[in-house]
Chain A
């Protein structure tokens, strides 16, 4: 199996606090890999280093074998590494049509066009229409994002990441804060991601993790505690100890 995303001895400190400790992680091509851990384990800090928002103090990050540690955020996206955010990061004033249109335009290299009007390229329009349909946003395409119900915003959050056509997708708690009634839509969308997209899921919800992931890494205090297939991780006494009092792990 080829490795889609890899960290080598990743180390991050905030002042005297080591939030990522010597983390070496391998995510296989096409995997459904979950990164779990109790609150404050440093999961989001890892994501921020993978995507380039934070610079690690030491260690390397490889995307499909190529060192991306020093690339800025947008260059990593163009190389095929995208993410969704735990808390929606959308454009309140823009519509879903504009939001997705931008992501598609950037990927196809039209993002810098300053003369040609938006909406005049058929290849871009086709893709926008396809994404809006898949994510049940076609009816809401002209609404300002800020006015959309939370579930729709959550769908848009994922749709925008998909619009960049990632080969590796980082999902940061995709179902966080979504009401029970709209949860199904999100899970269906996540489940329907094509197999050639490698997914690293950062999640709190154990039901979602065990129904989705084929491999699990457990992060505790910034360091890797254990890693393996779901059944093995679920039986691990160390993992049970960590989660004791927070949430019982049962498969």
Chain B
């Protein structure tokens, strides 16, 4: 193999699909058939996964911290709700895209504020924007329904064919399809030169500029893209639950998001998906054991994860599956441990 083709092969190393990834998605899909009584919670997990993937794009790849990501979730949620409520766009998929675009516009507009500062400034600016929107939504209650939220949303069938059923089956597969498509898109983007340049910016913005990367422009682009993803997650929330209330903007939503991403791991896209599953399962588990104090245990888990180090935890968790994979499919098939650390 010549050096150049060797380089080409190795450059695409990360972009190739691994067995573990295919297995992951097959398991997710099969859950839809194995647990027909659990559609609501599973849909909730999918939404959270998509929302977290959005945060991963800016935090895990580009290193932009945010404590106000719910701003985009909320705009997406209200946009989808208003579109359906007033019959402006009845078809859910079109409304979903429109809601995502609304969040995207807000993301683009606010990105100029976010890219200016360093971490602490960014935390405060993002937090401030989310609080601001929450207050605005409360103030303009004639549009948003105020503290009561948007009520009486009736969703039309998807593509005019598939109605949302009361068990949430359609909602689950609809959400799964959206999540998977957006995952594919994100996966493609992060393995492009653009995606790599984001990691370079996160690693060393000084050097990134010194090799000709237009740092600010790249950050604006990814922030805008992430806002679109968060908006879609918010729109899915409204569409699958038929409600939109002020808590879509809540600080807890942004803060939880950070927990989910840290639990799942940053900078490899699956962190959001795995984190969402683990977070919701832990929440379920702890709230059955101790309904009042489940947050104590979530906090404890978080501290352990950060102290022990996720890489080590992942290695322990993946030890047995990888042992089996190695025997079945050879050494290359092992599931990779994520690179980034929060």
Chain A contacts to B: CB under 8 angstroms:
51, 53, 72-74, 77-78, 82-83, 85, 89-94, 97-99, 101-103, 105-107, 110-120, 122, 125-126, 128-130, 132-133, 138, 141-142, 144, 160-161, 163-164
Q: Complex: how many Å from CA A101 to CA B215?
A: 17
Asked whether B210 is an interface residue with its Cβ less than 8 Å from the other chain, the reply is yes
Contact check, A102 vs B340: say whether CB atoms are below 8 A apart. Answer: no
Q: Give bound CA distance, A105 to B193, whole Å.
A: 7
Q: Which of B8, B9, B193, B209 contacts A73 (CB 8 A)?
A: B209
- Can you sample 30 A-B contacts with CB below 8 Å? A74-B214, A74-B215, A89-B204, A91-B199, A91-B203, A91-B207, A92-B204, A93-B203, A93-B340, A97-B7, A97-B10, A101-B11, A111-B212, A111-B213, A112-B193, A113-B192, A113-B194, A118-B11, A118-B12, A125-B4, A126-B4, A128-B4, A129-B2, A129-B3, A129-B4, A132-B7, A138-B3, A141-B10, A161-B210, A163-B211
Whether A102 touches B6, Cβ cut-off 8 Å, given contacts A77-B211, A91-B203, A92-B203, is no
Q: Which of these, A89, A110, A125, contacts B7 with CB under 8 Å?
A: A125
Q: Does B195 sit within 8 A of A, measured CB to CB?
A: yes
A97 CB contact (under 8 Å) in B11, B15, B195, B221:
B11
Candidates B7, B9, B211, B339; contact of A102 at CB < 8 Å: B211
Q: In the docked arrangement, what's the CA distance between A68 and B54, Å?
A: 38
Q: How far is the CB of B112 from chain A (nearest CB, A)?
A: 15
Question: Which 3 pairs show the lowest CB-CB distances between chains A and B?
Answer: A119-B11, A91-B203, A129-B3
Alpha-carbon distance A133/B196, docked complex (angstroms):
22
B326 in the interface (beta carbon within 8 A): no
Which residues of the other chain, B, contact A111 by a CB distance below 8 angstroms?
193-194, 197, 212-213
Residues of B contacting A93 in the complex (Cβ-Cβ under 8 angstroms) = 199, 203, 339-340
Decide if B314 is an interface residue (CB 8 Å cutoff): no
Contacts of B4 in A (CB 8 A): 122, 125-126, 128-129
CA distance A90 to B203 in the complex (A): 8
Q: Are B212 and A122 in contact (CB under 8 A)?
A: no
Any A CB within 8 A of the CB of B132:
no
CB neighbours of B189 from chain A (8 A): 114-115
Task: Taking A114-B192, A125-B4 as given, write out 4 further A-B residue pairs in contact, using a Cβ cutoff of 8 Å, ordered by the A residue number.
Answer: A89-B210, A93-B203, A102-B211, A118-B12
Residue contact A115 to B192, C-beta cutoff 8 Å:
yes
A117 in complex: contacting residue of B15, B204, B209, B210, CB < 8 Å: B15
Find out whether the CB atom of A94 lies under 8 angstroms from the CB atom of B203: yes
Q: Is the CB of A117 within 8 A of B12?
A: yes
- In the complex, the number of residue pairs spanning A and B with C-beta atoms less than 8 Å apart equals 151
Is there an interface contact between B213 and A101, defined as CB atoms closer than 8 Å? no
Known contacts: A89-B204, A98-B196. The answer to whether A103 contacts B211 by CB under 8 A is yes
* Contact partners of B204 in chain A: CB under 8 A: 89-92
Chain A positions within 8 Å of B15 at CB level:
117-119
Whether the Cβ atoms of A119 and B199 lie closer than 8 Å is no
Do the beta carbons of B192 and A77 come within 8 Å of each other? no
- Residues of chain A within 8 A (CB-CB) of B12 are 117-120
With A102-B197, A117-B191 in contact, is A129–B6 under 8 Å at CB?
yes
CB distance from A164 to the nearest CB of B (A): 6
Whether B213 pairs with A106 at a CB distance below 8 angstroms is yes
Distance between A77 CB and nearest chain B CB, rounded to angstroms: 4
Are B10 and A142 closer than 8 Å at their CB atoms? yes
Bound Cα distance A110, B11 (Å): 15
The reply on B29 being an interface residue by CB < 8 A is: no
Please indicate the chain B residues that have their CB under 8 angstroms from the CB of A115 in the complex: 188-189, 192
